[in-house]
């Protein structure tokens, strides 16, 4: 399988505080690729961490793309490239919110929401150099942090910013992204 822009592949191993999970990012700016390692933090968000581990263990992120890139704010991912896989995860229902214990500083990873108790599979990485602490008050509970490879997150293609339509990604998967946002 050829990795396309911003595909994710993961390799996970256990550690005392959560797990270390390494993703390989491909087709970054300049054709670069690199590895990003996340340490999950169950003490920050046990419900979110459990869902993230389930997503990783099931291979959900294989073929997922970064579909929303807002410079100095967030890079967002977590809609599977196969609509059938995405639909099966949506059928599992939304997650109850974790209290906000960690803070949305640069390099933390957080589930996206559209309101209380609406977390599913979409996530974002905070990229703002001074953090996005205002998200804490809005109920965005980080589930972990990048411990190595943030320089590769900074190289994710920002050309399309917020143009990809999330509904079309849900319905058509990577076929839509390949055609409209090569």
DSSP class of residue 177 equals H
Q: Is residue 88 part of a domain?
A: yes
Query: What CATH number is associated with residue 110?
Result: 2.40.100.10
What's the pLDDT at 63? 84
Whether the pLDDT of residue 3 is over 60: the answer is: no
Q: Report the chain's mean pLDDT, rounded to a whole number.
A: 92
Q: How many CA atoms lie within 13 A of 3 on its CB side?
A: 19
Query: Tens digit of pLDDT for each residue in 26-47?
Result: 999 999 999 999 999 999 999 9
What would the DSSP string read from start to end of 23-90? EEE-S-GGG--EEEEEEE-TTT-HHHHHHHHHHHHHTTTBT----EEETTTEEEE---SSHHHHHHHH
What's the pLDDT at 14? 46
Alpha-carbon distance of 134 to 104, in angstroms, equals 8
Whether the pLDDT of residue 140 is over 50: the answer is: yes
Q: Is residue 1 part of a domain?
A: no
Q: Is residue 31 part of a domain?
A: yes
What's the pLDDT at 22? 97
What's the pLDDT at 77? 98
Domain count, the chain: 1
Pairing relationship of beta strands 74-77 and 34-40 according to DSSP bridges: unpaired
Tell me the whole-structure pTM to 2 decimals.
0.90
Q: Is residue 110 part of a domain?
A: yes
The range of the structural domain enclosing residue 118 comes to 8-180
Query: Tens digit of pLDDT for each residue in 81-121?
Result: 999 999 999 999 999 999 999 999 999 999 999 999 999 99
What's the pLDDT at 40? 98
Burial of 153 (0-12, 13-18, 19+ CB in 10 A): buried
Q: Is residue 68 part of a domain?
A: yes
What's the pLDDT at 21? 97
Those residues with Cβ within 8 angstroms of residue 65's Cβ, 6 or more apart along the chain or in another chain: 4, 5, 6, 7, 8, 77, 79, 81, 169, 174, 177
């Amino acid at each position: 399988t050829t990795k396309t822009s911003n595909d994710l592949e993961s390799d996970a191993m256990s550690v005392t505080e959560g797990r270390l999970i390494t993703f390989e990012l491909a087709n970054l700016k300049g054709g670069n690729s690199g590895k990003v390692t996340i340490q999950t933090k169950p003490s920050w968000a046990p419900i979110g961490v459990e869902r993230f581990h389930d997503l990783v263990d099931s291979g959900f992120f294989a073929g997922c793309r970064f579909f929303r890139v807002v410079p100095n704010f967030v890079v967002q991912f977590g809609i599977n490239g196969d609509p059938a896989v995405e639909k099966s995860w949506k059928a599992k229902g939304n997650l109850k919110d974790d209290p906000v214990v960690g803070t949305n500083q640069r390099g933390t990873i957080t589930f996206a929401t559209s309101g209380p108790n609406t977390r599913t599979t979409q996530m974002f990485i905070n990229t703002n150099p001074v953090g996005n602490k205002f998200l804490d008050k809005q109920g965005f509970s980080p589930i972990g942090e990048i411990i190595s490879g943030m320089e590769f997150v900074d190289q994710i293609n920002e050309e399309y910013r917020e143009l990809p339509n999330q509904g079309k990604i849900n319905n058509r998967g990577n076929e839509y992204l390949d055609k409209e946002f090569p």
